[in-house]
Amino acid sequence: MNGLLGPTALYVFALRAAAVLLVIPFHEAAHALVSWLLGDPTAKNAGRLSLNPLRHFDWMGTLCMVLGGVGWARPVGIDVRRFRSPKRDMALSAAAGPAANLLLAFVGLILYKYLAVWYYTGGGWAVALDFLSILISLNISLAVFNLLPIPPFDGSRIFLLFLPRRLYFRAMQYERYMMIAVLLLVVFGFLDRPLSFLVDRVWRLLDAATFFAGRIFVS
């Protein structure tokens, strides 16, 4: 109990809670924005085209993300009948959430590197560095988790793009049960190693991308 409620743990929880205020709204608002641009105003009309965290939070999912690093938000409503190409546009709308998180992680990593230079030259910024580290980690974890090709995660909308229409909608009927199964696998640790492996690889790719971006900017 002392470890869970100790100063270090409370410090991490506080920074993670602050990071969640950015991570979840960026993810959900990206879904709403792309679906609106593709012709479906359902999410926009519901107020989900917003970076206000209160419009997106599922409180249990938010608590899980703060305490465990993995959670969920309220689903963004999408009416596929408003899309010109339902399967394609659904896939694009789904991909927008993880893409927004990866973009935020990329920006966070650039800021982290610049602040790290000041920190190691005596400029301070230790709390900001810790916050950015958690922000990057949460964004990458959320993106990787949501790209799992299993309904109802975003990755399934992309994967199902390649299935026949009949199988696509049949698979969507069972997405609630599949989500419960995946969450159980996470709770009991069966997905820890593969998810950690994927998160590490994405982090390295983003790190390399910031290096090349820095080279281009400097030149």
Distance separating alpha carbons of residues 136 and 105, to the nearest angstrom:
5
Round to whole Å and give the CA distance between 76 and 35: 10
Residue reference for tokens 């792309």: 34
pLDDT at 157: 85
pLDDT value of position 94: 94
How far is residue 26's CA from residue 5's CA, in Å, rounded to a whole number?
A: 29
CA atoms within 13 A on the CB side of 25: 14
pLDDT at 139: 95
Give the pLDDT of residue 159.
83
pLDDT at 4: 60
Catalytic pick from 15, 16, 28, 99?
28
Report the chain (219 residues): mean pLDDT per 10 consecutive residues. Answer: 70 93 95 96 94 90 79 86 90 96 96 84 79 95 89 83 73 74 77 89 94 69
**What was the pLDDT predicted at 123?**
63
Question: Would residue 28 show up in a list of annotated catalytic residues for this protein?
Answer: yes
The residue count for the chain: 219
Report which DSSP code applies to 71. Answer: -
The reported pLDDT for the residue numbered 143 is 94
